[in-house]
Chains A and B, each alone.
Chain A
Amino acid sequence: MSVEITMSSIFARYTDNQLKIPVEGKTVGECINDLVTQYPDLKRMILDKNGKLLHSYDVFVNGESAYPQEMAKPVKDGDKVQVVMLIQGG
């Protein structure tokens, strides 16, 4: 059992085209750290130098916004985490 992180297709190049990725962790932050351990090229895209999620990303757990304190949000086996990139193009 594990948590599943869904990434945008935009990041497929950093995750060997895997967009639904099983990760381990008890919080969103632990899960994201596991994610970037599995796919190190993703780290500089979504985390700052202190390991904090960049402001340009939002996290949803089981389809619901995890704001605020996203990284500390507890997760359990079977939860689905979605990392959403903020976009502004028109």
Chain B
Amino acid sequence: MLSQEELERYDRQIMIYGFGEEGQAKLKKASVFIAGCGGLGSPVAIYLAAAGIGSIRIVDHDKVELSNLNRQVLHWHENIGGIKVDSAKVKLEKLNPAVNIETSTETITEANISQLTADCDLIVDAMDNLPTRYLLNKTAVEKGIPFFHGAVYGLEGRAMTVIPGKSACLNCLYHNVTIPREKFPVIGVTPAVIGCIQATEVIKYVTGLGELLTDRLLIYDGLRLTFTELKVNKDPNCEHCSNSQGR
């Protein structure tokens, strides 16, 4: 049941065909885990908070640095030196006080990931390294909850949605390949585009609207302003999902 204030706040999205008060109520009940509070995590968290997701748990162990501010729009000049998730919580609560924002500064590891994601309905991958992305993917598959992948480099981005038991997973796509973690070029508009696509997918999944970006890798090329879709096949020998049945 939505309050009068909620009906007014979300009026324009409730108007979307197929969304309605029922869709809004689904968003209100949803609990989202966002891994990373940087370039991708910022737009994901902002737009999910604005949309009225009930609970958002953000995990990031970093502090805000000056060089983050060209893209990590949840963090402002005044936050330099502060803890990212604290900075994020303040902004998100000001944006939408009704959203429950939980934070953690723990480093995501195999030992704590199950507990960190406990009670969350889905996982958003806003990380900056492949090993943690694989760990998140594996956890989502094991828990049978969706996984929303996004990655950026320069003016390029990728996005893909994983529904365990039904679609190809991140490991089917990249086969556990890792590359050295190094400083990479990026400008804020790129994670803004990809983060908004991830948030769109989350909203669609929760409300049951549209078709998800499953079994498809979306490639965004900002220089040419093109979106290309590539088909991703479920790997029958995938170490993460070949035995998964989904929830």
Contacts and interface: CB of A to CB of B under 8 A. Distances in A.
Interface of A: 8-10, 12, 19, 55-56, 58, 60, 63-65, 67, 82, 84-90
Contacts of A8: 156, 219, 221
B164 interface: no
Contact of A63 (B39, B184, B229, B235): B229
A19 to B, nearest CB: 7
A67 B127 CA distance: 25
A73 B39 CA distance: 37
B71 to A, nearest CB: 10
A90 B156 contact: no
Contacts of A9: 154-156, 221, 223-224
A48 to B, nearest CB: 13
B contact patch SS = mixed
Interface of B: 36, 38-41, 125-130, 133, 150-158, 173-175, 177, 179, 181, 184, 186, 191, 217, 219, 221, 223-224, 228-233, 235
Contact of A10 (B39, B41, B154, B235): B154
Nearest to A56: B179
B151 A88 contact: yes
B156 A10 contact: yes
A60 B230 contact: yes
Nearest to A68: B175
Contacts of B235: 67
5 contacts: A65-B230, A87-B151, A87-B184, A90-B36, A90-B128
Contacts of A67: 175, 233, 235
